[in-house]
């Protein structure tokens, strides 16, 4: 995550590519959300009590926010392509970072991509946490 942050500030400061800067920003936001989630889970495990009771609600907000962020990134790509006609290396790098951000979003909020069993991915931990909130709200 530190490398992506450094790359973001490097490219954003020289305005080489708006789509690269925005894709790096989106990736950083998603990675920070995952780091926040795992930090809260670690603290919960360490203290044996809930330190952030509104976590599922925040995660549901993050999921919606990330979809918006990734959609805006696609719009920035299109605008950047219309403004800048020659295809340069930053475009391909930005596309790679954008795809990586989408993969991280899926990995955190839908299916755990690194843990496949019998050809099926397991549900991501954040998705399980959000489902727990939905189950609890139905039972009340």
pLDDT at residue 38 is higher than 80: yes
The stretch 36-42 carries a mean pLDDT of: 89
pLDDT at residue 4 is higher than 80: no
Spatial separation of the C-alpha atoms in residues 44 and 51, rounded to whole Å: 6
- The more confident residue out of 16 and 108 is 108
Confidence class for position 126, pLDDT limits 50, 70, 90: confident
Positions of E strands within the chain: 111-117, 120-123
**Domain count across the chain:** 1
Q: Which domain holds residue 125?
A: 2-139
Spatial separation of the C-alpha atoms in residues 116 and 123, rounded to whole Å: 10
Q: Indicate the pTM of the whole model.
A: 0.81
pLDDT at residue 120 is higher than 80: no
Looking at residue 118, its pLDDT comes to 64
Spatial separation of the C-alpha atoms in residues 105 and 127, rounded to whole Å: 11
Interior angle at CA 114, CA 110 and CA 118, nearest 5: 90
Provide the percentage of residues in the chain whose pLDDT is more than 70.
77
Confidence class for position 65, pLDDT limits 50, 70, 90: very high
Looking at residue 64, its pLDDT comes to 93
């Amino acid at each position: 995550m530190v490398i992506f942050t450094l790359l973001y500030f490097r490219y954003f400061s020289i305005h080489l590519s708006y789509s690269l800067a925005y894709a790096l920003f989106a990736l950083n936001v998603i990675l920070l959300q995952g780091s926040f989630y795992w930090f809260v889970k670690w603290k919960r495990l360490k203290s044996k009590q809930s330190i952030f009771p509104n976590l599922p609600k925040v995660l549901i907000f993050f999921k919606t926010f990330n979809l918006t962020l990734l959609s805006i990134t696609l719009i920035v790509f299109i605008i950047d392509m219309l403004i800048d006609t020659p295809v340069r290396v930053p475009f391909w790098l930005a596309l790679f970072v954008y795809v990586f951000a989408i993969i991280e979003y899926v990995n955190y909020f839908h299916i755990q991509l690194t843990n496949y069993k019998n050809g099926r991915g397991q549900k991501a931990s954040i998705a399980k946490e959000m489902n727990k909130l939905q189950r609890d709200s139905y039972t009340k």
